[in-house]
Structure 1
Amino acid sequence: MIRVAIEIFILLLVNVFAYQHTTVDQCDWSGSGGGEGGGVRPVYLRCARGTVLWHYPHDALRVVLSFPASSTANPSPDYSSLGFRVCVKISGLARVFLETGSKLRQLYSPSDGKHESSHRCFRSRKHIVALYMEAEDDYSFKNAKVKLQYDLESNSLKGNMLHITDEEEDCRPCSMEELAKAYCQSDFVARGTVTAVQQQPELNAAELLLRVTKILRVIQEAEQSNESVDTIMSFKKNVRVRVALACDARHGLGEFVIMAKRRLGDLILVCAPRLEVWAQAVQEMDAAPCVLNS
């Protein structure tokens, strides 16, 4: 099956850029079966995040991901040559490969031992990413379904430093300038105390259990609802925020300002200054992308 997949992949290479003339901005795809005559069905998505639902999977899909041309998250010319970061969550009876040059690199298999809630992240070296999804031989289950959620990041809220790994970028402390940027661009900002740190080796992550004392900023959730931020957060006094396991997060005393972004349904830590450090930064900051509060 893999040999056939590689042969089909090579044939498709000549059409890698053809999608630009036919696709429209689209975030999600839902369908069943596979390509006609046992081939590969192409799926073109131009969105920063979305979902692929493949019902009764058969044969293969080739999913091409890119940013919409009109999106504010679209990579600038300075970053286009560096590619962008992609994170996916996958579940179901299929194997998923990342196209890298003339090779296929496996990202997911139902038997690879990783938790399906894991974030599988990688970097694109071009302005698109192509994923090859191959159905497992046993697809006869009545409710068989493959689900792939994706999230594209054109650059880091911390400034996207060159020549360091994504893991190092996620773990390093934020500078004063980065704190203001993170505050204004994060999906969730709150004051609170860290009541515990739970190691999640199966997710290659740790979770900070945050006892919220004051909500400073919430976007995305409020934008998708007619309810006020206070109503939305009234029952969320305890929040889980994920951080890379390699960061070796510890349980510290005192109150922190937690700045987090949403990725694949989870809150991911961006910056976590102590409250007194953040309050001083707010007083000393000459300019900021938005109004800062503490």
Structure 2
Amino acid sequence: MLTPILAYVLSHLLRIVSCQYSSDECSWKGSGLTHEGHARDVEQVYLRCSQGSLEWLYPTGAIIVNLRPNTASPAAALLSVCIKPSAESNGTNIYLDRVGKLRLLLREQDLAHGKVHCFGIQEGALFIEAIPHMDISRRITAFQYELVSSRPAGASVHSFSAPCQPCTDAETLLAVCTSDFVARGSIKKVQREEEQSSVTVDISRLYRQKTRVFVSGGVRARRSWTGQVKMPLQCGVKSGEGDFLFTGTVRFGEAWMGCAPRYKDFLRLYLEAQRQGTNPCHVDTD
């Protein structure tokens, strides 16, 4: 059996299938059955959105997934791609393809773990190679993807390095302006899971949320919210008294904690920056 790298080196011998765009350029769904009789086909897929999904049924041959956001901004080159495989995924190995050189990203046995994996968009396209099986009827490779800034200011995204490092003053102020959620509240409970902590928080002031991270406490508690935010296990977060300013990002429907200073420390920092005229955005602290 040819190794993926050898197969790709010999790609001039393979039949390259014409480019196929997904209907909305965000998600793609295809079937390896279209490769019958051409089991070594390599198909090009182009995805141009900030998030979407891919589903490859009965994989045979290979597909190259090109993630090309519709933006001419220089910041696009600094983006990272995060993918989260479906727990039912199998039948393929996933590589990064940069100018014909392949680097293994995920083996078949790693797909079912459903862990998020991130890489820089300039590291190459995704080369997804089907593993030959006698029976492909139960094989499927599926994942969600999101494009994120390589190191969001103050955001402790679990797939990036140094996720528990305290935020600088500048990172904290910027996180308040750019995070997916910003809220004032306290830590009610911390539940340790296999590789992360699930932090239950009570919110007394909700400044912003991109999605429904925090839900209302009900008719009798119109000015209170509650929700769960994830943190890497190694951060060692604990429940306790005190008001915090929670900021963070939402990845694949899960909220991940970013900068979370004590509220009194944030207020001191914010008022000082306001006095100096260096605040990147306004926050109602009344």
TM-score by length of 2: 0.76
Contact 1:93 1:139 in 2 (8 A): no
Any conservation in 2 of the 1:197–1:206 contact (CA below 8 Å)? Answer: yes
2:110 corresponds to: 112
2:174 is the alignment partner of 1:186: no
The C-alpha deviation readout for 1:113-163, integer Å capped at 9, x for no partner, is 8632x2122335x2x63112233524213xx54321112223322279xxx
Q: 1:19-52, CA deviations, whole angstroms, 9 ceiling, x for partnerless residues?
A: 99x9999322122226642212111112222211
> Does the 8 A contact of 1:35 with 1:61 survive in 2?
no
- Provide the secondary structure at the position in 2 that maps to 1:140: coil
Please list, as runs of the form range in 1=range in 2, the aligned pairs for 1:178-217 lying within 5 A after superposition: 178-201=171-194, 204-217=195-208
Shift of 1:272: 0.5
Q: Which residue of 2 aligns with 1:30?
A: 29
Letter in 1 for 2:205: K
Q: CA 1:34–1:242 in structure 2 vs 1: closer, same or farther (change >3 Å)?
A: farther
The answer to whether 1:172 aligns with 2:165 is: yes
Distance in 1 separating the partners of 2:272 and 2:64: 51
Q: For residue 266 of structure 1, what is the aligned residue in structure 2?
A: 254
Aligned residues: 258
User: In 1, distance between residues paired with 2:197 and 2:33?
Assistant: 38
Q: Is contact 1:258–1:273 with CA below 8 Å preserved after alignment? A: yes
Match of 2:83 in 1: 88
Distance 1:253 1:12 in 2: 61
Could you tell me the percent identity over the aligned residues? 29
Aligned counterpart in structure 2 of residue 239 of structure 1, from 227, 231, 234? 227
Moved more, 250-259 or 34-43: 34-43
SS, match of residue 179 in structure 1:
helix
- TM-score normalized by the length of structure 1: 0.74
Match of 2:145 in 1: 150
Task: Tell me by how many angstroms 1:258 deviates.
Answer: 0.9
Which position in structure 1 is the counterpart of 2:118?
A: 121
- Given candidates 234, 239, 249, the residue that maps to 1:251 is 239
| 2:264 equivalent among 266, 276, 280 | 276
1:35–1:60 CA contact under 8 A, matched in 2? no
Q: How far, CA to CA, are the matches of 1:97 and 1:68 in structure 2? A: 24
Q: Is the counterpart of residue 97 in structure 1 residue 90 in structure 2? A: no
CA contact (8 A) 2:84 2:144 kept: yes
Against the structure 1 CA distance between its residues 64 and 191, is the aligned structure 2 distance closer, same or farther, given a 3 Å change threshold?
Answer: same
Give RMSD over aligned pairs. Answer: 3.4
Q: Secondary structure at the match of 1:259?
A: strand
Q: Does 1:133 align with 2:133?
A: no
In structure 2, distance between residues paired with 1:252 and 1:11 = 60
Pair member with larger Rg: 2
Instruction: Find out whether 1:292 has 2:286 as its counterpart.
Output: no
Q: Give the conservation status (yes or no) of the 8 Å contact 1:85–1:123.
A: yes
Kindly state the Cα deviation for residue 196 of structure 1 after the two structures are TM-superposed: 2.1
Residue 182 of structure 1: CA displacement?
Answer: 0.6
What SS class does the counterpart of residue 112 from structure 1 fall into?
helix
Q: Higher mean Cα deviation, 241-250 or 261-270?
A: 241-250
Which structure 2 segments of 5+ residues have no match? 13-17, 218-223
5 Å-filtered alignment, 1:39-78, equals: 39-70=41-72, 74-76=73-75
Distance in structure 2 (CA, Å) of the matches to 1:98 and 1:239: 36
